[in-house]
Amino acid sequence: MMTDSRRPAHRRRWTCLAATLMGAAVVVTVWLARERILPCVARRLDVGEPPRACDYVVVLPGGAETRPFVAAAMVKAGLARQALVPRVAATPDSDEGAGQSAHEIIRDVLQLRGVPRPDILLIGQDSTNTYTDAVALEQFLLARPRLTIAVVTHAYHTRRARWVFRRVLRGRSDDLYLVAAPADEFDANTWWHCREGAQAYFSEYAKLIAYLPYYGGWHAWGPVLLIGVAIGGLLLHRRARRRVSGEEVRW
């Protein structure tokens, strides 16, 4: 007959085994159905809209192989009057003259694609991420009310970028929309076929989750708090059961 002291350990082993099997089943199911599931997972990040007439088009740093090309096409088609490029923080290479900064590369590509130099405006100072890009745009718009803005970034980055820009610009959110630029190596239907695509989408979802409590407002904090309360309740319940059974209590 099994003693009382052995029951909790035996139960925990079965619980761990069941959780492992369930996790493995989920992974196998997703992998077998990956051609249908994974593209849907990728498309959830894309909230880009078709280009339409606006006053300025903003090219977010990074992705110089595609983003400035989309912005240049908008300017040349008459959909945007000028292009805005956030200045990025200097890197050791750019400080030493060994290479161009990201905003200089974007500016050069825009110019090579037919955008006149006076129509390319650098905004902000030492931008390092999506939030500081949005702050740079906010500062630019302080003396320019009632403008319409298009922001060009990669498709998988549009949801988080829209979220951040709307939070920073607040009342101007109705005057701003996102335009999705493609990635050269992958798209929503093939992103898991290469390391670059997997890194991009996993990283973007991780950043989106990390941004949720900070930029999501009360409706985002609610689920986070509920999850925290649920986890805390489970821990307290587990501790109480161990006290009743006479086990040593550890968190």
How many C-beta atoms lie closer than 10 Å to residue 108's C-beta? 15
Q: What is the CATH number of the domain that holds 96?
A: 3.40.50.620
Q: pLDDT value at position 223?
A: 56
- The strands making up 149-154's β-sheet, listed across from edge to edge, are 120-127, 82-88, 56-59, 149-154, 176-181
* pLDDT, tens digit (0-9, with 9 covering 90-100), for 163-178: 999 989 987 666 899 9
- Please indicate, yes or no, if residue 86 is contained in any of the structural domains: yes
More confident residue, 92 or 84: 84
Report which of residues 221 and 125 the model is more confident about: 125
Q: For residue 66, is it left (φ>0), alpha (ψ between -120 and 50) or beta?
A: alpha
* Residue 171 sits in the same domain as residue 240: no
More confident residue, 224 or 26: 26
Q: Is residue 152 part of a domain?
A: yes
Distance CA 188, CA 87 (A): 29
Which residues are bridge partners to 151 per DSSP? 58, 178
Do 106 and 229 fall into the same domain?
A: no
pLDDT at 85: 97
Query: Containing domain of residue 139, as a range?
Result: 56-215
For residues 134 and 76, membership in a common domain is answered with yes
- How many CB atoms sit inside 10 A of residue 11's CB? 10
Mean pLDDT of the region 234-246: 66
Cα–Cα dist 155/188, whole Å: 9
Number of domains making up the chain: 2
Tell me, yes or no, whether 205 and 193 share the same domain: yes
Angle CA 69–71–77, to nearest 5 = 100
Considering the chain, what is the average pLDDT of its residues? Answer: 82
- In this prediction, residues 79-91 reach a mean pLDDT of 92
| Res 162: pLDDT | 93
Residues 112 and 206 in one domain: yes
The C-alpha atoms of residue 172 and residue 151 are separated, in whole angstroms, by: 13
Q: Determine, yes or no, domain membership for 145.
A: yes
- Alpha-carbon distances of 170 from 49, 111, 120, 124, 162, rounded to whole Å: 20, 32, 25, 18, 11
Rg (CA), the chain: 25
Identify whether residues 180 and 63 lie together within a single domain: yes
Lowest model confidence (mean pLDDT) among 41-50, 108-117, 173-182, 228-237: 228-237
pLDDT of 98 > 80? The answer is: no
CA–CA distance from 34 to each of 9, 62, 196, 218 (Å)? 37, 28, 18, 34
Taking the model in full, what pTM does it have? 0.74
* Model confidence pLDDT, tens digit, residues 17-63: 777 777 777 666 666 666 778 888 889 999 999 999 999 999 999 88
Q: Comparing 18 with 195, which gets the higher pLDDT?
A: 195
pLDDT at 251 over 50: no
**Do 89 and 116 share a domain, yes or no?**
yes
Contact 142, 124 (CB under 8 A): no
Q: Does residue 171 sit within a domain?
A: yes
Rounded-to-integer distance, Cα 49 and Cα 57, Å: 13
18 within some domain: no
CA angle 134, 217, 163 (to 5 degrees): 35
Q: Region 96-112: what's the mean pLDDT?
A: 86
Percent of the chain with pLDDT over 90: 48
The model's confidence at residue 184, banded by pLDDT at 50, 70 and 90, is confident
- Asked if residue 98 is part of any domain, the answer here is yes
30 is a domain residue: no
State the average pLDDT over residues 223-231: 58
Is residue 93 predicted with pLDDT exceeding 50?
Answer: yes
Model pLDDT, residue 100: 86
- Same domain for 187 and 231, yes or no, is no
| Residue 243 and residue 161 share a domain | no
Going from the C-alpha of 17 to that of each of 13, 84, 98, the distances in angstroms are: 6, 55, 55
Model pLDDT, residue 96? 47
Residue 154 belongs to a domain: yes
Give the single-character DSSP code of 151. Answer: E
